[in-house]
Amino acid sequence: MGMVAQREQEIRERDSALKEKTARLSVASNSLLVVAKLAVGFAIGSVGIISEAIHSAIDLVAATIAYVSVRQSARPPDECHTFGHGKYESISGLLEAVLILVAAVLIVNEALKNLLGGEETLNVDGLGLGIAVMLLSAGVNVYVSSRLMTVAKKTESIALESDAWHLRTDVYTSAGVVVGLILIRLTGLVVLDALIALAVAGIILRAAFDLIRRSFEDLVDRSLPPDEEDRIREIIKEHCTDAIGFHRLRTRRSGPNRFVDLHLVVPRAATLEEAYAIVKQVEDDVRREFPRTSVTIRVQPCTGEDCSGCGIFTTCPECDRLALCDRPKEED
């Protein structure tokens, strides 16, 4: 196993363990918050707190899905999944978005029944307990979502990033419920409870549609972000000379994994060993900067008629690379 491949294997094992540990933390925290919110919500009759409990319950299911998906995506390629299992994370994001939509519908239903039915079920005397549990929820989710987002960025996990955004949304909605409960205590306007629940549903719907969009981008094999693709082009061009070029660069993402495909043009006089050396250099340099990247290079001979400018391949004694120059040629 080469140095780059060994480093990639170490990164995969480290990231997999870190993602699983962080996903378990999310499951545990959401379980605690669901129980606490439901108990207090029903105790004081607050549809706002009950809507937040529903939100947290959906977050719990989403966290569980994220946990399962990061375990599945870490599995190595097999006979049935030769490109690996990275899209389990993209599917996870889509499922989480559907669950968020369901949560929003349930919250709207409860809020409208309370608002249009004119039922004042809220126990104003118990608002202090409701405020306390919502502050607890916000504090816990600030910590857990920060952990999730840090690990998601480090491991490039869309499943954990989706879970982190869920919890950050929960922080905002919890803060909104707290403000609403305080206003109810100050003004006595119980109708604010249902209005807060509707506002919570609106925020959840926005998060759901954004998550659906991002999940579909991976599932339909959208190209890597422009800044990443531009950097990959720069890396490849470092190996381009008057005699070496590339074209038909294609990129995509599958969960935390990237895939890069291109055609590399080499002089017709190049030997198989010389062509392979260039391919290996390009692959190693791309994977060194972008771990978890599969690079597929198709080598084709130059079709130009005048080969007098190709020169002869030589080896640089300082970097042990074939001689290069700073005049890249790319054919799109």
pLDDT digits (tens, 9 = 90+) for 83-100: 666 677 777 777 777 777
Could you give the CA distance from residue 269 to residue 162 in angstroms, rounded to a whole number?
Answer: 51
- Give the distance from CA 324 to its chain's centroid: 37
Residue with tokens 């004694």: 317
- Cα angle for residues 53, 62, 33 (degrees, 5° grid): 30
Could you give the CA distance from residue 151 to residue 148 in angstroms, rounded to a whole number?
Answer: 5
Token pair of 22 as six digits: 């962080």
Determine the 3-state secondary structure of 177 from DSSP: helix
Q: Which residues pair with 148 in a beta bridge?
A: none
Average pLDDT, the chain: 75
Burial of 34 (0-12, 13-18, 19+ CB in 10 A): buried
DSSP-derived letter for residue 222 is P
**How many other C-beta atoms can be found within 10 angstroms of the C-beta atom of residue 113?**
12
Residue 195, pLDDT > 50, answer: yes
Residue with tokens 């900067």: 289
Task: For the chain, give every residue range classified as CATH 1.20.1510.10.
Answer: 3-219
**Topology of the domain comprising 226-330:** Alpha-Beta Plaits (3.30.70)
Say if residues 185 and 123 touch (Cβ distance below 8 Å). Answer: no
Torsion of CA 59, 63, 69, 74, to 10 degrees: 150
Residue with tokens 């599932």: 219
Longest dimension (CA), the chain: 91
Q: What is the predicted pLDDT for the residue at 117?
A: 63
Average confidence (pLDDT) over 218-243: 80
Give the residue among 194, 56, 39, 35 at the shortest CA–CA distance from 138: 56
Task: For the chain, give every residue range classified as CATH 3.30.70.1350.
Answer: 226-330
Could you give the CA distance from residue 96 to residue 4 in angstroms, rounded to a whole number?
Answer: 35
Residue 37, pLDDT > 60, answer: yes
CATH number of 3-219: 1.20.1510.10
Torsion of CA 151, 153, 156, 159, to 10 degrees: 60
- Rounded to two decimals, the pTM is 0.57
Could you give the CA distance from residue 39 to residue 33 in angstroms, rounded to a whole number?
Answer: 10
Could you give the CA distance from residue 142 to residue 156 in angstroms, rounded to a whole number?
Answer: 20
Could you give the CA distance from residue 297 to residue 284 in angstroms, rounded to a whole number?
Answer: 12
Q: What is the predicted pLDDT for the residue at 331?
A: 44
Residue 317, pLDDT > 50, answer: no
- Which range, 237-241, 319-323, 328-332, is most confident? 237-241
Q: What is the predicted pLDDT for the residue at 311?
A: 45
Report which of residues 78 and 171 the model is more confident about: 171
Q: Is the alpha carbon torsion for 248, 253, 259, 260 positive or negative?
A: positive
